[in-house]
Amino acid sequence: MIPWEIEGASFGNCNCDYGCPCQFNALPTHGSCEAVLALQINKGRFGDVTMDGVTAAMVVWWPGPVHEGNGKMQLIVDEGASTAQRDAIVQILHGEETDPMSTVWSIYSAMCPTKFTTLSKSITLEIDIEGRIGKIIVPGIFETTGEPIRNPITGEEHRVRIDLPHGFEYDIAEMGSASTEAVGEIKLSLKDSYGQFNKFHHNNNGPVRKAA
17-49, pLDDT tens digit by residue? 999 999 999 999 999 999 999 999 999 999 999
pTM score, whole prediction: 0.95
pLDDT digits (tens, 9 = 90+) for 156-185: 999 999 999 999 999 999 999 999 999 999
First-last CA distance in the chain: 27
* CB distance 192 to 186 below 8 Å: no
Closest by alpha carbon to 62, among 102, 126, 114?
114
> Does the pLDDT at position 212 exceed 70?
no
Which pLDDT value is given to residue 211?
A: 53
Handedness of CA 20, 63, 70, 177 (dihedral sign): negative
The strand pair at 119-121 and 72-78 is best described as parallel
Contact 25, 67 (CB under 8 A): no
Best CA proximity match to 170, nearest among 149, 147, 194, 196: 196
pLDDT digits (tens, 9 = 90+) for 112-152: 999 999 999 999 999 999 999 999 999 999 999 999 999 99
